[in-house]
């Protein structure tokens, strides 16, 4: 059965938002977009969890979307985060993304207010009915406090604009259940689970690690697609320590921003309530980057 959201298959980078002196650093953001495109990344996803969207003002959120769309200029697809725990705000942001020329919208499930499954359905359905524009559901229960159950995803899959789901529940059974029930494109929301998810039918990943090594993430996806399973497994095992430390040492995006700063590709600045990691965590990240070959050991 053909899937709906194949335009977002492959590697999507969950792009960090660079700051300088408390403000969005737009030149650095543009440089990050250019670098991703040079690396061959087909889809760029700004202002998601990795992009620190909860600490961006509404104006900043829209300006970042517009800036990434403008910089990509058709060279890569743009899938900005437009979700909110207020349905009206999710509609407003999704309408803005459509007007700005994005290729779709990534909609995280409502967080903190912990709606029922019927409430989750009503939320996503209202957005989809309000904006005729490709939409990707984003299920991340560890962040939102609610799992979007496969039965709810099945109901939502019948609404035209909803074309894919980013699954970060950590459950391969849930991924399989969604694939049995729907024709949505399933995208991994956990870098370390991308290969296992591909094995049951997922078609790509929205990746934090791709901020550092997008070519390697894409190579793993391509190897699997070609049926070169041993090569895909080799790349998965090479990427795994990077995935583990970028997502396990501290809440995202603290580790990835710190890693970028260690590599000289950013200043590591975050907005409160996020703080830089302690020195022990920095040392763990540094050793992981050295072992991967991204930086040399300090003398």
Active site positions, annotated? 138, 166
**Residue 260: how many CB atoms within 10 A of its CB?**
19
Let me know: does 64 contact 56? Beta carbons within 8 Å: yes
With beta carbons less than 8 A apart as the criterion, state whether 137 and 146 touch: no
Alpha helices in the chain (DSSP H): 26-38, 58-72, 87-100, 117-130, 141-144, 150-156, 172-181, 194-200, 214-225, 229-248, 254-262, 279-292
Instruction: Say how far apart CA 150 and CA 153 lie, in whole Å.
Output: 5
CB proximity list for 21: less than 8 A, separation 6 or greater: none
Residues in the chain: 299
Burial bucket for residue 274 (CB in 10 Å: 0-12, 13-18, 19+):
middle
Sorted by sequence, the CB contacts under 8 Å of residue 141 that are 6+ apart come out as: 147, 148, 168, 169
Q: Which residues are paired to 38 by β-bridges?
A: none
């Amino acid at each position: 059965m053909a899937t709906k959201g194949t335009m977002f298959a492959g590697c999507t980078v969950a792009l960090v938002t660079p700051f300088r002196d408390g403000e969005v650093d737009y030149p650095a953001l543009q440089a990050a977009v250019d670098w991703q495109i040079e690396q061959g990344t087909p889809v760029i996803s700004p202002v998601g969890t990795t992009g620190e969207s909860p600490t961006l003002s509404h104006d900043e959120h829209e300006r970042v979307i517009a800036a990434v769309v403008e910089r990509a200029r058709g060279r890569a697809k743009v899938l900005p985060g437009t979700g909110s725990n207020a349905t009206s705000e999710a509609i407003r942001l999704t309408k803005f993304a459509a007007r700005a020329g994005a290729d779709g919208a990534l909609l995280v499930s409502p967080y903190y207010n912990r709606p029922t499954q019927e409430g989750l359905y009503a939320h996503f359905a209202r957005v989809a009915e309000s904006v005729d524009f490709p939409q990707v559901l984003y299920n991340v229960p560890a962040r939102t406090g609610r799992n979007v159950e496969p039965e709810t995803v099945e109901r939502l899959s019948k609404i035209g604009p909803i074309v894919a789901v980013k699954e970060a529940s950590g459950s391969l059974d849930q991924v399989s259940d969604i694939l049995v029930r729907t024709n949505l494109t399933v995208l991994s929301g956990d870098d370390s689970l991308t290969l296992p998810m591909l094995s049951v039918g997922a078609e790509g990943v929205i990746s934090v690690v791709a901020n550092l090594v997008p070519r390697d993430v894409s190579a793993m996806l391509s190897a699997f697609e070609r049926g070169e399973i041993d090569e895909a497994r080799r790349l998965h095992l090479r990427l795994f320590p990077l995935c583990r430390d970028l997502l396990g040492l501290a809440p995202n995006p603290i580790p990835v921003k710190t890693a970028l700063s260690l590599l000289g590709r950013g200043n590591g600045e975050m907005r409160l309530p996020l703080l830089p990691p302690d020195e022990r965590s920095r040392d763990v990240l540094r050793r992981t980057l050295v072992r991967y070959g991204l930086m040399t050991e300090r003398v």
